[in-house]
Amino acid sequence: MFDLLEHDHVQELHVCHQADCQLNAFIAIHSTRLGPALGGCRFMPYRHAGAALRDAIRLARGMSYKAALAGVPQGGGKSVILRPEGHFDGARLFREFGRFIDALGGRYITAIDAGTTAREMDWIAEETTHVTSTSDAGNPSAYTALGVYKGILAAVEHRFGLADLAGLRVLVQGLGNVGMRLAQYLHQAGAKLLVCDIDTTRVHQARSCFGAQVVHPDRLFEETCDIFAPCGLGGVINHRHLPEMSCAIVAGSANNQLEDADCGRWLHDEGILYAPDYVINAGGLIYASLTHSGSGISDIEFRVHQLGETLRSIFQLSEEGGLPTSEVSDALAEEKLCEATRKAA
Ligand code: NAD
């Protein structure tokens, strides 16, 4: 376990266990150098506690980098609750989890993530104020989708020298909160949509609303497209599938898209432009952070639009230095964190 913390430079790890409400959870705080750690709460079945722990640690670092490059005053953290098997009392479990968060005194602020919605955040909010994305605060996914759309425009301009998406083939994997909204933006912009989801209701919806071509999840990499937009779960860019990839750009909302750092280098070497996940998907974090601190929508929208500019400079630096975009963005984020440490010293 300490090796994992060391590998991702995670500052704190909290274990939450309350047997009578079946609560088993981890809260990983990567850094609070730029402000209180803000990051979503995952609620999923895990094969074992080690897999949940690994998820929390790995995702926490991404949140620090995301906040650093999005320019919001937050550190990076993530919580993962192992979904109990069989019947459980959700209200009790999440209220208990809220008490654990409260005991951290504001060093960690939670939000929705895979498996949680505003309902769970409302239960947490009964016990602590260190929570965003409650039903009063609104859903950040719309801003994540807007940021991904702006990022795709920046990638298309850099890779193809085009100012719009008309006629480009975009494959969206995952039509959930973010993916469906992204599909709508892409459709309105004149892209030719291909969609893939394990949930057949969602693919049928995308087919009827946007005239999208449906791709079976087992045949994902058989389709040629200009842009692949992963909006499902992480690890989709992996060593098994890399040789099958046939696109010019990878740009989507999923967290931890790359199985490891070598995958980022492989994409670069193959001439596939990768929009680093934690940069392009920062719209939701910007929304959560700025609503929590009381900012207005125009400020939030301005910051989300700026994500396209951040990506343009990453693409440029990558081209000039002959480095993968994933390495350029990691270096920029680390530099911001070091700068904050120097200022604090
Ligand atoms: P969601 O749970 O609403 O949607 C995910 C979708 O992916 C679902 O429709 C699901 O059926 C589908 N899916 C899962 N596995 C799949 C597979 N193997 N093949 C095809 N489809 C599959 O999640 P979301 O809120 O839309 O988030 C999507 C991704 O973006 C996640 O990785 C999340 O961590 C990341 N993200 C989301 C936000 C946000 O604001 N919601 C912000 C930043 C990052």
The pick from 44, 172, 182, 231 for probing ligand 1's pocket by mutation, whose C-beta has the most ligand atoms within 8 angstroms, reads 231
Summarize pLDDT for 200-246 with one digit per residue, the tens: 999 999 999 999 999 999 999 998 999 999 999 888 999 998 988 99
Strand-strand pairing, 227-230 and 169-173: parallel
What separation in Å is there between the alpha carbon of 254 and the centre of ligand 1? 6
Question: Does one domain contain both 118 and 235?
Answer: no
Of 82, 101, 125, at which residue does a domain stop?
125
Q: 175 and 318: one domain?
A: yes
Query: Which residues lie below 8 Å from residue 174, measured CB to CB, with a gap of 6+?
Result: 196, 197, 230, 231, 232, 233, 252, 253, 254
Tell me: pLDDT of 2 over 80: no
Report d(CA 316, CA 329) in Å as an integer.
Answer: 11
Q: What is the pLDDT of residues 280-315, one digit of tens each?
A: 999 999 999 998 888 888 999 999 999 999 999 999
Together in a domain, 102 and 238:
no
CA distances (Å), origin 301, targets 37, 149, 160? 22, 13, 26
pLDDT at position 139? 80
Task: Tell me if 67 is assigned to some domain.
Answer: no
Asked whether residue 68 is assigned to any structural domain, the reply reads no
Q: Both 155 and 247 in a single domain? A: yes
CA of 232 relative to ligand 1 center, distance in Å: 4
Instruction: Please state, as a whole number, how many other Cβ atoms lie within 10 Å of the Cβ of residue 167.
Output: 10
Asked if the structure places residue 345 within a domain, the reply is: no
Say if residues 66 and 113 touch (Cβ distance below 8 Å). Answer: no
Interval 139-185: pLDDT, tens: 889 999 999 999 999 999 999 999 999 999 999 999 998 999 999 99
- 228 plus 272 within the same structural domain: yes
Ligand 1 atom with the smallest distance to the CA of 199 is: 11
Same domain, 154 and 114: no
- CB count in 10 Å sphere of residue 297: 12
Q: Which of 258, 216, 261, 255 is nearest to 241 (CA)?
A: 258
Model confidence over 65-111: pLDDT tens digits?
A: 999 999 999 999 999 999 999 999 999 999 999 999 999 999 999 99
Same domain, 108 and 155: no
199 and 260 share one domain: yes
Pairing of strands 75-82, 37-44: parallel
Domain count, the chain: 2
User: Is 133 a domain residue?
Assistant: no
Question: Residue 49 has what pLDDT?
Answer: 92
Q: Ligand 1 centre from 135 Cα, in Å? A: 20
φ, ψ at 331 (rounded to 5°): -65, -40
Strands 23-31 and 75-82: antiparallel
Query: Higher pLDDT residue, 243 or 321?
Result: 321
In a domain, 32, yes or no: yes
Q: Which residues are catalytic?
A: 78
Q: Are residues 266 and 160 in the same domain?
A: yes
Backbone angles phi, psi at 196, to 5 degrees: -145, 130
CA of 176 to the centre of ligand 1 (A): 5
Same domain, 308 and 233: yes
- Cβ atoms of 34 and 337 closer than 8 Å: yes
Check: CB of residue 38 under 8 Å from CB of residue 109.
Answer: yes
Is the pLDDT at 188 greater than 80? The verdict is: yes
Give the least confident one: 37-41, 231-235, 263-267.
231-235
pTM: 0.92
The CATH number of residue 285's host domain is: 3.40.50.720
Residue 134 lies inside a defined structural domain of this protein: no
- Any domain includes 53: yes
Q: Does residue 66 lie within any of the structural domains? A: no
Find the domain containing 317 and state its range: 141-335
Burial of 20 (0-12, 13-18, 19+ CB in 10 A): exposed
Is the same domain home to 53 and 196? no
For residue 233 and ligand 1, the question of a CB distance below 6 A is answered with yes
Same-domain pairing of 13 and 121: yes
**Other CB atoms within 10 Å distance of the CB of residue 70:** 23
The pairing of strands 213-214 and 169-173 is unpaired
Check pocket membership of 230 for ligand 1, CB cut-off 6 A: no
CATH number of the domain within which 33 lies: 3.40.50.10860
